[in-house]
Amino acid sequence: ILNVEQSPQSLHVQEGDSTNFTCSFPSSNFYALHWYRWETAKSPEALFVMTLNGDEKKKGRISATLNTKEGYSYLYIKGSQPEDSATYLCAFMASGTYKYIFGTGTRLKVLA
Amino acid sequence: GAVVSQHPSRVICKSGTSVKIECRSLDFQATTMFWYRQFPKKSLMLMATSNEGSKATYEQGVEKDKFLINHASLTLSTLTVTSAHPEDSSFYICSARDGAGRSYEQYFGPGTRLTVT
């Protein structure tokens, strides 16, 4: 059974703080790792698609790194804002299946 | 970006009735759609993969007669929860994959909260 874990489950940070969370996934049969941002009552929004070991991607104040050999990805948010409050999901995709296996998400609350 | 709608967003039904949930890709053709279920504090769990014009592929442990999936067009897939019972109460969310895309990225609907009384 393939397992994808995210930590922490939730966290509260102050506006302006930088933060990061982790997604751990199987290191074998890796095809891609996707990060999504999910606000309540909305559709999960794609943030990054990461495919190569050592990948670093950035979108505004949010960035992500990928280590496929050890099976983890970090998501970083610099200078958190209240509008960053959401659940951040990672989804692992194994080669051959091309189906997502999701982590449970990290629920971020940015306090003004 | 690609938009997927899902309807209804919330439904309450009585035990024994059937409920249909629709998933539509609004601005792209979705050759493949996926149906997920989420229990409280758990991750999204894939229920089935739906390919246009063919039978859905169900994940292990998911009853195909209980959760009927129809993907009759490139923009619409439906999930029907038949003879619903309180244990079927859950959050159901669909996603669609652009047939022209190469990254296998999925675009999600906003989900449906089903409550069976």
Q: Is A100 on the interface with B (CB under 8 A)?
A: yes
Q: Is B60 on the interface with A (CB under 8 A)?
A: no
- Using omega within 30 degrees of 0 as the cis cutoff, is the peptide bond preceding A82 cis? no
Q: Which of B25, B108, B113 to mutate to test the interface with A (most CBs of A within 10 A)?
A: B108
Q: What is the mean pLDDT of residues A1-29?
A: 94
Q: Say yes or no for a CB contact (<8 Å) between B110 and A36.
A: no
Rounded CA separation A84/A14 (Å) = 11
The per-residue pLDDT for B63 is 95
The per-residue pLDDT for B1 is 67
pLDDT of B90 above 90: yes
Q: Taking CA A93 as the corner, what is the angle to CA A29 and CA A58, rounded to the nearest 5 degrees?
A: 110
* Cα A56 to Cα A61, A62, A80, A86, B30, distances in angstroms: 13, 11, 19, 22, 29
Q: Say yes or no for a CB contact (<8 Å) between A49 and B105.
A: yes
* Cα A14 to Cα A8, A9, B51, distances in angstroms: 16, 17, 45
pLDDT band at B54 (very low <50, low <70, confident <90, very high): confident
Summarize pLDDT for A54-82 with one digit per residue, the tens.
999 999 999 999 999 999 999 999 999 99
A57 contact partners, CB below 8 Å, separation of at least 6: A48, A50, A63, A64
Q: Say yes or no for a CB contact (<8 Å) between B109 and A102.
A: no
The per-residue pLDDT for B111 is 97
How many CB atoms neighbour CB B1 within 10 A? 8
